[in-house]
Chains A and B, each alone.
Chain A
Amino acid sequence: AQKVTQAQTEISVVEKEDVTLDCVYETRDTTYYLFWYKQPPSGELVFLIRRNSFDEQNEISGRYSWNFQKSTSSFNFTITASQVVDSAVYFCALSEAGYSGAGSYQLTFGKGTKLSVIP
């Protein structure tokens, strides 16, 4: 069963528009972590945020904001006043307890959302 769903495969917006990237996750654990990573055309994934399951406070970092709602199992990412430099593939990921041979946590990535910001 898919544990991280990013239903939007591709999104195009015009520069300065706001855009929200959706992420829905599935887990039975009470302790887990959620992440967002950005992958620009250069290829290197860049960490954006990590949120633990006990902290439902929304977070804002400049033009970026994240909305974590346990009731809907969602961890959505909003970019305000988008810029061309925001064009990238964005990955949501879930880390939950469970032996996977790679330590005591298992990390599952969503399939990614490709964001294109048009000037």
Chain B
Amino acid sequence: DVKVTQSSRYLVKRTGEKVFLECVQDMDHENMFWYRQDPGLGLRLIYFSYDVKMKEKGDIPEGYSVSREKKERFSLILESASTNQTSMYLCASNPWGQGLAGELFFGEGSRLTVL
């Protein structure tokens, strides 16, 4: 069964802390994505990776960075967390060639609160 796992369901961090959100998929997918979900705004793409060590900015990359050292793992990094980064973060993946025109497989999300 297809599985995207996000390591933390709920996190509470303080302003200025460095935050790592981890995502692992077991489907051997090349593409991985990080989205942010906020009420009234829907889902917005932060970063995308189509291969190991490759990354592309999405619609709202400011304040975030990513790391893809292994095919199955895609990490979202908040170098210095701010309160406006309080949100639900969703990781997704899909096979090479599908990208944003294909079905996305999502994790359960990580709800981050920055105090």
List A residues at the B interface (Cβ < 8 Å). Answer: 4, 33, 35, 37, 42-47, 50, 91, 95, 100-107, 109-112
* Contact indicator A50/B42 (Cβ below 8 Å): no
How far apart are the CA atoms of A103 and B100 in the complex, in Å? 7
How far apart are the CA atoms of A33 and B40 in the complex, in Å? 23
Residues from chain B with a CB closer than 8 A to the CB of A46 are 106
Residues from chain B with a CB closer than 8 A to the CB of A102 are 33, 45, 48, 56-58, 99-100
* Contact indicator A44/B100 (Cβ below 8 Å): no
Looking at B45, B56, B88, B90, the one whose CB has the most chain A CB atoms below 10 A away is B45
Known: A43-B9, A103-B99. 8 other contacts (CB 8 A): A43-B108, A45-B90, A101-B56, A101-B57, A101-B58, A102-B48, A103-B100, A103-B101
